[in-house]
Amino acid sequence: MAPQSLIELWRGGLCESIHAGHAVVYGPQGAEMVWGQADAVIFPRSSCKMIQALPLVESGAADAAGLAERHLALACASHSGAALHTKAVAAWLSDLGLADEDLRCGAHVPRDPEARCHFTCTEDKPCQIHNNCSGKHSGFLTLNRHLKGGSEYVEIDHPVQRAVRAAFEEVTGEIVAGWGVDGCSAPNFACTVEALARAMQFFAAAKPEGSLRENAAVRLRRAMVAFPELVAGEERACTKLMRAMGGKVAVKVGAEGVFVAILPEQKRGVALKIADGTTRASEAAITAILVYLGALDPAHPVVEELLPKVQRNWRGLETGGMRRAEGFC
Amino acid sequence: MAPQSLIELWRGGLCESIHAGHAVVYGPQGAEMVWGQADAVIFPRSSCKMIQALPLVESGAADAAGLAERHLALACASHSGAALHTKAVAAWLSDLGLADEDLRCGAHVPRDPEARCHFTCTEDKPCQIHNNCSGKHSGFLTLNRHLKGGSEYVEIDHPVQRAVRAAFEEVTGEIVAGWGVDGCSAPNFACTVEALARAMQFFAAAKPEGSLRENAAVRLRRAMVAFPELVAGEERACTKLMRAMGGKVAVKVGAEGVFVAILPEQKRGVALKIADGTTRASEAAITAILVYLGALDPAHPVVEELLPKVQRNWRGLETGGMRRAEGFC
C-alpha cells in the first residue's frame, strides 16, 4: 500500500520534508482520480461525523427533539471549544433534560486560545462539553432518547452505535474493515479511502426529495456550510475553507491526516489520508484538490494560508515554501 | 533516497499512520548502523547548535567574555522561553553591554505554557529574548564582540557565519550541500544524515586535552548535560531524555523531524531525520535508538512517554499505541 508523495516542504532550494498519502475523487460513475492507493485502509476519525449523524436525522430523532440546523452542524463538528461552542452544547443538553455527566466523550483543554488560556492560568478544569466532539455526542444522546437505549451509548453493541455502523457500511459500500476507539471513546469504523470518498459522493449527490437517508444527508451537508464556525472555529481550516467556497462545498478534517469534501454542484466526494498523519499536509492537500477541481479560487487568501508558496520566518524573511509534489494535482 | 519505516501508530489492531526516515549511528570506525539512506541530504536545523557554538568557544570569545557553563548550554538551546530562560538571556546581553534590539532572531510567542498564556491573555508582545534561539544568538553576539564584526551577524558572509560554516564543514567532513535560512534567520547548512552523525561522533570522542576544537566540543557537550533544563525546558523531550540518562548522553532536537545524540562513553554519534518532518516521530525514534544502544533504560518512564506502547484517550481508555516498525532497532 504505497502512498504517493503529495506535499513537499522546501527551504533554501532543497526539499526538506515530504508528506505522502492517498486521495480519491469519486463521482457518479465511481473513482475519477486516485493518488496513492484507493484501497488503503484508514480510520476516518472525525471526518465521518456527518455519516455518524445520519441516524440522528433519518430516524426522526432530530425532529422529535426539535433540533435546529445549528444542532446538526454541531453534531458534525470538531469544534474549538470556544464560548460559542460550549454554550450551544450546554443549551442542547439542557433542552434534553441532560447534563455534562451524561456525556461519554471525556474532557480535554479546548483548542480555542482564550478558553485554553483560561484553563492554563486558573484552577478550573475543562468539562466534557469542552471536548471537541461534544456536539457529536450530544447528537448521540438525542438519538439515544429516541431509541430508548442505556446510558453507555459509545459501546460498540449499543443501539446508537449499531445504527451508526449500519449507516456507515451502507454509504461507504463496504463491510467495515475493523474499528478502533476514537479519542472521544466512540467507535471509529475503518474503511478504504475510496469507500470514504464514495460516502462523500453520496452526500454530494443526495437530493432532498430522495430517500429518508438522502434527505438526512442533504440536511447535514447544508448545516455544515450554514454554520462553518460551529463545525470547527475561527482560524481553523474547515471554517476558512467553507467560508472561502461560499457555502458550496462542505469539508471536514479527521485526526491523523484525514480530510474529506462534499461537492454537491459537481456531485463529487473527496477523501484523503496523509500516511504520516500530519494535519498541515492534509490541509494543504485538500486545498490543492479543491483548487484542482475548480471549487476553490486559487487567488483566495486561504490557499496561500494552507498551501503557502512562500513561508517566512520570525523576522519575515522568506525561508522556502510548500509545493504540490510532482504528479499531484 | 527512500526513507525506511521507523515509527508506526496503531489503533484498533490496524496501523493507522507511519513515519519513515533516515538514521545513522556513527562510531570510531565510521557508520555502524544505517536505517534509510545515510546520504539523504537534510537541514539539521537546531540539532547542530553545538556545532554552531564551536567558534564561540574555540576562538577564546567565550572565555574573554567570562561566560559560565550555563551560557554554553544556552548557546546550544532551543529553549522554551520560560522565565528561567529569558532572564538568563537578558542578563547575558546586559553583561555584553547589549540589549534585545541587538539580536537578529526575531520574536515569537514562547512555548512555555505560563509565558504563552501571558502573551495570549495580555496586550504584551514577546521580545526577541523570548525566541527559542536567543541563547544561540547571544553566543553569536559574544563571538562577534571578539571578531569585531558588523551588526548583521546572521548574514551568510559575516565573519561569525563564516566561522560557523568552517567548523560545520570540518566536523561533518563534507562541503555543505547548500544552506537555508532558519526560522531564527541564521543560516542553516545542509549535509547528509551520515555527516551529521559523524559530527556528533566527533563531539562524543573529543578529549578535553585534545585540540582547541576538541576541548571546545567537550565543554559544549558537558554544558548541555549539566543544564538540560536550559537546553530545552520542563516537559520537553531533550530535557527529559538527558535527565533520564543521568548526564551521560547529550541530545538535541531539530525542527522538521531531526534529532541527534552524543554518546561519549560509547564514542558514538547519532543523527536521524523523519522524512515528513514530524517531531512526535523524531522523539520516538531517538528514544528507540538510545534504548537499542543501551544508553537509556527501557524501564525509565520517559520511554513510555516518548514511545508509548499504550496510548489512551480522554477517558483513559486504551486506543492503541506506537511501535517501532519492523527492522528498526
- Counted residue by residue, chain B has a size of 329
Q: Which residues contact A264 (CB under 8 A, 6 or more apart)?
A: A204, A205, A221, A248, A249
Contacts of B184 in chain A (CB under 8 A): 313-314
For chain A, percent of residues with pLDDT exceeding 70? 100
pLDDT of residue A117: 86
Contacts of A127 in chain B (CB under 8 A): none
Contacts of A80 in chain B (CB under 8 A): none
CB B240 within 8 A of CB B231: no
Asked if A17 lies within 8 A of B104 by C-beta distance, the reply is no
- DSSP summary character for residue A77: -
Which of A105, A180, A315 lies at the smallest CB-CB distance from B320? A180
Contacts of A106 in chain B (CB under 8 A): 313-316
What value does the mean pLDDT take over residues B114-118?
90
Of A204, A207, A219, residue with least CA distance to A267: A204
Site of grid cell 438519538: A143
The minimum CA-CA distance between B282 and chain A, rounded to whole Å, is 12
Q: Alpha helix (H) ranges present in chain B?
A: 49-52, 54-58, 61-64, 69-75, 83-95, 113-121, 134-147, 159-172, 193-205, 212-226, 228-231, 237-244, 279-292, 301-306
pLDDT confidence band for A120 (50 / 70 / 90): confident
Per-residue pLDDT reduced to its tens digit, B42-77? 999 999 999 999 999 999 999 999 999 999 999 999
The minimum CA-CA distance between B43 and chain A, rounded to whole Å, is 7
Q: Is A94 exposed, middle or buried (0-12, 13-18, 19+ CB in 10 A)?
A: exposed
What value does the mean pLDDT take over residues A278-291?
98
How high does pLDDT run on average in chain A?
A: 97
Per DSSP bridges, beta strands A4-11 and A318-324 are antiparallel
Euclidean distance between CA atoms B230 and B221, whole angstroms: 13
For chain A, percent of residues with pLDDT exceeding 90? 97
Site of grid cell 512555548: B111
Contacts of B183 in chain A (CB under 8 A): 313-314, 319
Q: Measure the CA dihedral A70/A75/A77/A79, to 10°.
A: 80
Per-residue pLDDT reduced to its tens digit, A46-71? 999 999 999 999 999 999 999 999 99
CB B326 within 8 A of CB B4: no
Asked if A16 lies within 8 A of B256 by C-beta distance, the reply is yes
pLDDT confidence band for B157 (50 / 70 / 90): very high
Residue B295 has pLDDT above 70, yes or no: yes
pLDDT of residue B117: 86
Euclidean distance between CA atoms B174 and A108, whole angstroms: 47
Give the gyration radius of chain B's Cα atoms. 19
Of B282, B281, B274, B276, residue with least CA distance to B251: B282
Cell numbers for A223? 448545516
Euclidean distance between CA atoms A285 and A273, whole angstroms: 9
What dotted CATH number matches A4-324? 3.40.710
pLDDT of residue A1: 59
What value does the mean pLDDT take over residues B87-103?
98
Roughly how many angstroms between the first and final C-alpha of chain B, as a whole number?
A: 20
Per-residue pLDDT reduced to its tens digit, B243-265? 999 999 999 999 999 999 999 99
Per-residue pLDDT reduced to its tens digit, A145-165? 999 999 999 999 999 999 999
Single-letter amino acid, residue B119: F
Cell numbers for A239? 471554517
Which of A106, A276, A317 lies at the smallest CB-CB distance from B315? A106
pLDDT of residue B1: 59
CA atoms A144, A147, A152, A156: torsion sign = negative
Residue A84 has pLDDT above 90, yes or no: yes
| Residue in A closest to B17 by C-alpha | A276
pLDDT of residue A110: 96
Residue A37 has pLDDT above 90, yes or no: yes
pLDDT of residue B121: 82
CA A218 from centroid of its chain's CA atoms: 16
Asked if A12 lies within 8 A of B188 by C-beta distance, the reply is yes
Site of grid cell 502512498: A3
The minimum CA-CA distance between A181 and chain B, rounded to whole Å, is 5
What value does the mean pLDDT take over residues A275-279?
98
Residue A208 has pLDDT above 90, yes or no: yes
Residue B120 has pLDDT above 90, yes or no: no
CB A245 within 8 A of CB A290: yes
CB A321 within 8 A of CB A311: yes
**Domain coordinates in residue numbering, chain B:** 4-324
| Residue in B closest to A12 by C-alpha | B180
Size of interface A-B (CB pairs under 8 A): 152
pLDDT confidence band for B309 (50 / 70 / 90): very high
Cell numbers for A9? 516542504
Single-letter amino acid, residue A297: D
Euclidean distance between CA atoms B303 and A160, whole angstroms: 38
CA atoms A314, A315, A321, A322: torsion sign = positive
Q: Which residues contact B239 (CB under 8 A, 6 or more apart)?
A: B228, B229, B231, B232, B233
Euclidean distance between CA atoms A321 and A57, whole angstroms: 43
Q: Count CA atoms closer than 13 A to B160's CA, side-chain side.
A: 26
The whole-model pTM stands at 0.97
For chain B, percent of residues with pLDDT exceeding 90? 97
| Residue in B closest to A104 by C-alpha | B315
SS3 A92: helix
Single-letter amino acid, residue B27: G
Q: What are the φ/ψ torsions at residue A43 (nearest 5 degrees)? A: -100, 120
What value does the mean pLDDT take over residues B217-225?
98
The minimum CA-CA distance between A18 and chain B, rounded to whole Å, is 5
What value does the mean pLDDT take over residues A271-281?
98
Contacts of B13 in chain A (CB under 8 A): 178, 180
